[in-house]
Amino acid sequence: MGDSIVRALAFNNTVRAFAVNIKETLQTAMGFHNLNPLAATALGRALAAVAMMREMTKGEDEIITLKIKGEGPMGGLVAVSSGKGMLKGYISNNDYSTYGEDALLGVGPCLMPGFMTIVKDMGLKEPYSGTVPLQSGEIGDDLAFYYTYSEQIPSLVALGVKLKPDVAVKSAAGMIIQLMPGAKDETVVFIESKLRKAGSASKLIEQTGSPEEMLKFMLGNENIKITEKKEVSYNCGCSRDAMLRGVLSLGREEINRIINKQEEVETLCHFCMKKYKFSSSEIKGILKN
């Protein structure tokens, strides 16, 4: 069974919730990027986060991007979720040997200090973006802070990745539970008590087996209504035409400077590490036309 994401309403529509399993998605990402364990954990958390954030949007073509720019040795990351459950991402610095003692302390110290930016491309002239300072660098805490500070939505965010000794993915999952107007204090107490019992999102997905069961555990089977379920997967979506457009976006002056120095232009897709080559004569022909 492949990865999936669900959305739900609970407690008479005063709570909305999302849960996702991205075990196979993260394993694919690790294959593309040969990720070290800490980088895999960071990217897995970010991919789970954007998958759920994408489900909060209304348009099928909307794209959500989570960017972290940190001063820690990992540097940062990018995670993107687009229509039909497509996920992709990359880490700025995957060289574990450069992390030093920060690697012993987890993901946060390898990113901190820095900023998290959420970009929502809704197909308008300009995408919406919001930026907040990193609170811990653990991504879940930072996203919860973003929702409280930027969107004034009280949110519980749980993101978890667990790897096997051979660095294969054992579990990777996430939950976002948000309080809507009218939510009662006893609802908050109920959810908090469940969270203490659940532990991490990666542990909960192992125990329950699916995103639906994760939310049923957290919110109570009698309180919840699953409203949607869909598949998610790692899908870069790059193409030769798209990469060529990227080259052309450099502008005529910069392109001419490059092709006058070399016979070939090579580009690299950061999301799947695929290389595309364009001859100088090919690019000159396009510029001429």
Residues 254, 158 within the same domain: no
233: confidence class by pLDDT, cuts 50, 70, 90? very high
Considering 234, 262, 277, which residue would you say is the last residue of a domain?
234
- pLDDT tens, 67-78? 999 999 999 999
Domain enclosing residue 248, as ranges: 240-288
Final residue in a domain of this structure, among 208, 234, 260: 234
The model's confidence at residue 95, banded by pLDDT at 50, 70 and 90, is very high
pLDDT at 52 over 90: yes
- d(CA 76, CA 70) in angstroms, rounded, equals 5
Q: Are residues 162 and 254 in the same domain?
A: no
pTM score of the predicted model: 0.93
Cα–Cα nearest to 201, from 144, 276, 282, 266: 144
- Identify whether residues 60 and 120 lie together within a single domain: yes
54 has a pLDDT exceeding 80:
yes
Question: Are the C-beta atoms of residues 15 and 187 closer than 8 Å to each other?
Answer: yes
Last residue of a domain, one of 202, 219, 234: 234
Specify the pLDDT at position 48: 98
**Within this chain, do residues 126 and 208 fall inside the same structural domain, yes or no?**
yes
What is the Cα–Cα distance from 191 to 207, expressed in whole angstroms?
18
In a shared domain, residues 80 and 170: yes
* Res. 246: pLDDT tops 90: no
pLDDT score, position 131: 95
Three-state SS for 115-159 is EEEEEEECCCCCCEEEEEECCCCCCHHHHHHHHHHHCCCCEEEEE
Verify that 131 and 54 share a domain, yes or no. yes
Average pLDDT along the chain? 92
Among the residue ranges 81-85, 158-162, 219-223, the one predicted with the least confidence is 81-85
244 and 183 in a common domain: no
Comparing 4-13, 22-31, 116-125, 168-177, the range with the smallest average pLDDT is 116-125
- Across the range 143-149, mean pLDDT stands at 94
Question: Do 199 and 245 share a domain, yes or no?
Answer: no
> Based on the domain organization, do 83 and 147 belong to the same domain?
yes
Q: Does the structure show a pLDDT above 90 at 257? A: no
Banded pLDDT at 255 (limits 50, 70, 90): confident
193 and 260 part of one domain: no
Res 284: pLDDT: 83
Q: Total domain count for the chain?
A: 2
- pLDDT tens-digit readout, 147-188: 999 899 999 999 999 999 999 999 999 999 999 999 999 999
Of the candidates 247, 245, 196, 191, the residue with the CA atom closest to the CA atom of residue 219: 191
Q: What CA–CA distance (Å, rounded) separates 245 from 267? A: 11
What CATH number does the domain containing 214 carry?
A: 3.55.30.10
Q: What is the pLDDT of residue 1?
A: 63
Q: Which amino acid is at 113?
A: P
Q: What pLDDT is recorded for position 200?
A: 84
Q: Are residues 153 and 247 in the same domain?
A: no
My answer on whether 68 and 134 are in the same domain is yes
CATH number at residue 257: 3.90.1280.10
